[in-house]
Structure 1
Amino acid sequence: MDPLTLGAIVAVCTILVLFSGVSVALGLLIVSTGFILIFDGARSLELLPEILFGKLDNFALLSIPMFIIMGASIASTRAGADLYEALERWLTRVPGGLVISNLGACALFAAMSGSSPATCAAIGKMGIPEMRKRGYPDGVAAGSIAAGGTLGILIPPSVTMIVYGIATEQSIGRLFLAGVIPGFMLVGLFMAWSLYATWRSGDQRLLAQTTYSWRQRFEILPRVLPFLFIIIGVLYAMYGGVATPSETAAVGALLCLLIAMIIYKLWNPRDLWVVLRDSTKESVMILFIIAAAGVFSYMLSSLFITQSIAAWIGTLEVNPWVLMGAVNVFLLIAGFFLPPVAVILMAAPILLPIITAAGFDPIWFAVVLTINMEIGLISPPVGLNLYVINGIAPDISLKTILTGSLPFVACMVIAIILLCIFPGLATWLPNAVMGTAI
C-alpha cells in the first residue's frame, strides 16, 4: 500500500480511537500496535517494550516531575492570591489597573507554576469576583483570566517546552529563552485589549481604584518576593552554567516546597501528601504519553509514513509561508481536541523535517506551536481553561466566557503574525544569551 494512503488511514483510525474516550496514551498504543501487527507481523511486537521504556531513558525527563512539583507546591498555597493583591496595590493608580493586575498576576504565577489550569484557578478565585464587584464586564473579567492562564505553557519554566525539546532534540535552555519575549508580548496585547474593552464599556468608575498607603504596598512583598527570587535563581543556574535543567528543576522544587512550608505554614502531612500525589499523577500521565508517542513515532517511521510525507511536501512547489499557514491550521484544529503535550508528541516527528526543509527555525517554530496550543486551551470543544473559569464563577455562562475569550484568541493570532514578520522576537534572546546555534 502507498505510504501516503496508509498515513491517511492511520490518521483516521487515530482520530476515531481518541474520540472513543480512551486516554491519549492508551489510544496511541492501540493504534501503533494494531498497524505494526498488521503490516510488520507479530514478531515486531517484541520491540515495543524496548521502545516504550527506551523513550523514557532520558535524563532530561527528570525535569518534568520536578517542575510539576514546583508548580503544585505554589498552587497549594495563597501565593496566587498574594501575588494578585500585591500587584493590585502597586498598580492601583494606573487606569484600568485592576484588569492589568490580574493579567500581570497570571503572567507571574504562570512563570512560577507552569500550569494553565492552576493559574486560572489561583488568580481567578480572587480576580474575577473583585473585577465583577467593581463593575468590569463579565466577558472581560472571565476572558482575561482564561487567556492569562494560557501563558503557563509559554513563559518559562514550561513543561510544554521541555516536551518539545525532548521530542525534537532541541536545547531546552534555548526553548525557555525563546518564550520570554513572545510571552511578554502576549501579556501586552492582552492588557491592551482589556483596557480598550473596559474603556468601551463607558463606565469611568473602572478607572478609579482603591487607594493604598506605601506601608500597605510594602507589607505584602515579603510573601511573594521569595517565589520570584526562585524563578530568577532557576534561570540563572540554568543559563549561568551552574546546573543542568534537571538539576535546576530539582533544586527549584525543593525550595518551593520549603517556602510553602515556612511562609504559608504548609506543615500538615496531609497537605504535603496532596501536593506530591497530584504531582505524581500528572507526571505519570505526561511520561506515559511520551512513551506511547515514542511507539507511535516508531510505527510511522517503520511504515515509511513520516519519510513519505516529508518527501511529498518537499516536491510541492508552494511558498514556504503557505506551507506554514497550513501547518498552523492543522495545529489549531488539533489543539481544539487534544492537550498540548499530546499534539506536540504526535505532530513533532512529522512536522520537524517539513519545517526545517522549508527553512524555518525549529526554536522559533516551538513558540508558534505553543501559541497555537494556547488558543486551544480557550476554544471549544475541549477548552480546558473555559471550564476552569466556569467552575470558579458558575453564574457566568459558558457562552459569556467563550465570547469574552474570543478577542484574546485574536490577540494570539496577531502574536503569531508578528512572530512570522519578526522571527527575531523568538530567536534573538536565545542567540544573545547562548550564542548562535550551529
Structure 2
Amino acid sequence: MDPLTLGLLVALCTIVVLFSGVSVALGLLIVSAGFLMIFDGMRSLELIPEILFGKLDNFALLSIPMFIIMGASIASTRAGADLYEALERWLTRVPGGLVISNLGACALFAAMSGSSPATCAAIGKMGIPEMRKRGYPDGVAAGSIAAGGTLGILIPPSVTMIVYGIATETSIGRLFLAGVFPGLLLVALFMAWSLFYTWRYGDRKLLTTTTYSWAEKFEILPRVVPFLLIILGVLYAMYGGVATPSETAAVGALLCLLIAMVIYKLWNPRDLWIVLRDSTKESVMILFIIAAAGVFSYMLSSLFITQSIAAWIGTLDVNPWVLMLAVNLFLLVAGFFLPPVAVILMAAPILLPIITTAGFDPIWFAVILTINMEIGLISPPVGLNLYVINGIAPDISLKTILMGSLPFVACMVIAIVLLCVFPQIATWLPNAVMGTRM
C-alpha cells in the first residue's frame, strides 16, 4: 500500500479508536501494534516493550513530575486566593480592575503551577463570585477565568513545552524562554479587551467604591512574594548555568512544598499525601502517553509514513504561509477533541520536518502550537477549562461560559497573527539569552 494512503488509514483508525473512549495512551498502543502486526509482521511486536521503556529513559523527563509537584503544592494552599486578593487591592480603582486582577492572578499563578485546570480552580473560586457580586455579567466573569487559566501551558515553567522539547529533541530552556513574551502578549490582549468592555458596556456598578490603605496593600504581599521569588530563582538557576532544567525543577518542587508548609501550615500528613498522590497520578498519565507516543512514532517511521508525508509536502508548490494556515487549522481542530499533551506527542514528530522544510523556526512553532492548544482548552466538546469553571459555578451554563470566552479566543487568534508577522516576539529572548542557533 502507498505510504500516503496508509498514513490516511492510520489517521482514520486513530480517530475511531480515540473516540471509542479508550485512554489516549492505550489507544495509541492499540493502533501502533495493529498496524505493525499487519504490515511489518509479528516479529515487530517484540520491539514494542523496548521502545516503550526506552522512550522513558530520558533524564529530562524528571522535570515533568517535579514541576507537577511544584504546581500541586501551590494549588493545595490559599496562594491563589492571596494572589487574587493582592492584585485586587492594588488595582481596585482601575476601570475593569476586577477582571484585570483576575487575569493578572491567572498569569502569575500559571507561572507558579504550570497547570491550566489548577489555575482556573484556584483563581475562579475567589474571582468569579466577587465579579458577579460587583455586577459583571456571568459570561465575562466565567470567560475571563477560563481564558486566563489557559496561560498555564504557555508561561514557563510549562509541562507542555517540556513534552514538545522531548518529542522534537528541542532545547527545553529555549522553549521556556520563547513562551515568556507571547505569554505577556496574551495577558496584555486579554486585559485590553477587559478595559474596552468596561468602557463600552460598563456602568457605575462595575467600578468598585472599595478603597484600601497603603498598609492594607502591603500587608498581603509577604504571602505571595516567596512564591514569585521561587519562580525567578528557578529561571535564574536554569539560565544562569547553575543547574539543568530537571535539577532546577526538583529544587523548585522542594522549596514550594516547604513554603506551603511554613506559610500555609500544610503540616497535616494527609494533606501532603494528597499533593503527592495527585501529582503521581498526573505524572504517570503524562509519562504513559509519552511512552505510547514513542511507539506510535516508531510505527509511522517504520512504515515510511512520516518520511513520505514530509517528502510529499516538499514537492508541493504552495506558499509556506498557506501551509502554515493549514497546519494551524489542523491543530485547532485536533485541540477541540484531544488534550494538549496528546496532540503534541502525536503531531509534533510529523509536523516538525514539514515546518522546518518550509523554513519555519521550530522554537517559534512551539509557541504557535501551544496557543492553538490554549484555544482547544476553552472550546467544546472537550474544552477542559469550561468544565472546571462549570464545576466552580454550576449555575452558569456551559453556553454562557463559552460565549464569555469567545472574545479571548479572538485575542489568541490575534496573538497568532502577530507572532506570524513578528516572529521575534518568540525568538528574540531565547537568542539573546542562549545565543543564536546555528
- Common fold, TM-score beyond 0.5? yes
CA contact (8 A) 2:95 2:198 kept: no
Deviation of 1:209 (Å): 4.2
Instruction: Write out per-residue CA displacement over residues 138-183 of structure 1, whole angstroms, 9 at most, x where no aligned residue.
Output: 1111110000000000000000000000001111010000000000
Deviation of 1:370 (Å): 0.1
- Between the aligned partners of 2:126 and 2:198, the Cα distance in structure 1 is 19
- Between the aligned partners of 2:205 and 2:342, the Cα distance in structure 1 is 45
- Between the aligned partners of 2:134 and 2:205, the Cα distance in structure 1 is 8
- 3-state DSSP class of the match of 2:346? helix
Deviation of 1:208 (Å): 3.3
- 3-state DSSP class of the match of 1:107? helix
Q: TM-score, normalised by structure 2?
A: 0.99
Deviation of 1:216 (Å): 0.6
- Between the aligned partners of 1:401 and 1:200, the Cα distance in structure 2 is 20
- 3-state DSSP class of the match of 2:39? helix
- Between the aligned partners of 1:227 and 1:48, the Cα distance in structure 2 is 42
Instruction: Write out per-residue CA displacement over residues 227-255 of structure 1, whole angstroms, 9 at most, x where no aligned residue.
Output: 00000000000000000000000000000
- Between the aligned partners of 2:7 and 2:398, the Cα distance in structure 1 is 37
For this pair of structures, how many residues does the alignment match? 438
Percent identity, aligned pairs only?
90
Instruction: Write out per-residue CA displacement over residues 180-199 of structure 1, whole angstroms, 9 at most, x where no aligned residue.
Output: 00000000111111222223
Moved over 6 A (4+): none
CA contact (8 A) 1:97 1:209 kept: no
CA contact (8 A) 2:92 2:98 kept: yes
- Is 2:145 aligned against 1:145? yes
CA contact (8 A) 1:377 1:384 kept: yes
Instruction: Write out per-residue CA displacement over residues 96-134 of structure 1, whole angstroms, 9 at most, x where no aligned residue.
Output: 111110000000000000000000000000000000000
Deviation of 1:383 (Å): 0.4
CA contact (8 A) 2:65 2:280 kept: yes
- 3-state DSSP class of the match of 2:257? helix
- 3-state DSSP class of the match of 1:62? helix
- Between the aligned partners of 2:141 and 2:201, the Cα distance in structure 1 is 13
- Between the aligned partners of 2:239 and 2:126, the Cα distance in structure 1 is 34
- Between the aligned partners of 1:93 and 1:435, the Cα distance in structure 2 is 42
Deviation of 1:92 (Å): 1.4
- Between the aligned partners of 1:338 and 1:177, the Cα distance in structure 2 is 26
State the Cα RMSD in Å: 0.6
CA contact (8 A) 1:137 1:198 kept: no
Deviation of 1:95 (Å): 1.6
Query: Which stretch of the first structure deviates more once superposed, 94-103 or 198-207?
Result: 198-207
- Between the aligned partners of 2:38 and 2:437, the Cα distance in structure 1 is 42
- 3-state DSSP class of the match of 1:34? helix
CA contact (8 A) 2:104 2:187 kept: yes
- Is 2:92 aligned against 1:92? yes
- Between the aligned partners of 1:198 and 1:64, the Cα distance in structure 2 is 39
- 3-state DSSP class of the match of 2:14? helix
- Between the aligned partners of 1:88 and 1:226, the Cα distance in structure 2 is 19
Q: Paired residue for 2:238? A: 238
- Between the aligned partners of 1:257 and 1:361, the Cα distance in structure 2 is 37
CA contact (8 A) 2:64 2:159 kept: yes
Instruction: Write out per-residue CA displacement over residues 39-91 of structure 1, whole angstroms, 9 at most, x where no aligned residue.
Output: 11111111111000000000000000000000000000000000000000111
CA contact (8 A) 1:137 1:201 kept: no
Q: Paired residue for 2:312? A: 312
CA contact (8 A) 1:185 1:415 kept: yes
- Between the aligned partners of 1:155 and 1:100, the Cα distance in structure 2 is 17
After TM superposition, the structure 1 = structure 2 runs for residues 118-133 of structure 1, keeping only pairs within 5 Å, are: 118-133=118-133
- Is 2:408 aligned against 1:408? yes
- Between the aligned partners of 1:321 and 1:209, the Cα distance in structure 2 is 50
CA contact (8 A) 1:98 1:209 kept: no
Query: Which stretch of the first structure deviates more once superposed, 390-399 or 154-163?
Result: 390-399
Deviation of 1:291 (Å): 0.2
Deviation of 1:36 (Å): 0.2
Deviation of 1:210 (Å): 1.3
CA contact (8 A) 1:37 1:44 kept: yes
CA contact (8 A) 1:136 1:198 kept: no
Q: Paired residue for 2:364? A: 364
Instruction: Write out per-residue CA displacement over residues 24-45 of structure 1, whole angstroms, 9 at most, x where no aligned residue.
Output: 0000000000000001111111
CA contact (8 A) 1:140 1:197 kept: no
**What are the ranges of 5 or more consecutive residues in structure 1 without an aligned counterpart?**
none
- Between the aligned partners of 1:106 and 1:21, the Cα distance in structure 2 is 31
Query: Which stretch of the first structure deviates more once superposed, 189-198 or 371-380?
Result: 189-198
- Between the aligned partners of 1:112 and 1:397, the Cα distance in structure 2 is 29
- 3-state DSSP class of the match of 1:173? helix
Query: Which stretch of the first structure deviates more once superposed, 323-332 or 91-100?
Result: 91-100
- 3-state DSSP class of the match of 1:182? helix
**What are the ranges of 5 or more consecutive residues in structure 2 without an aligned counterpart?**
none
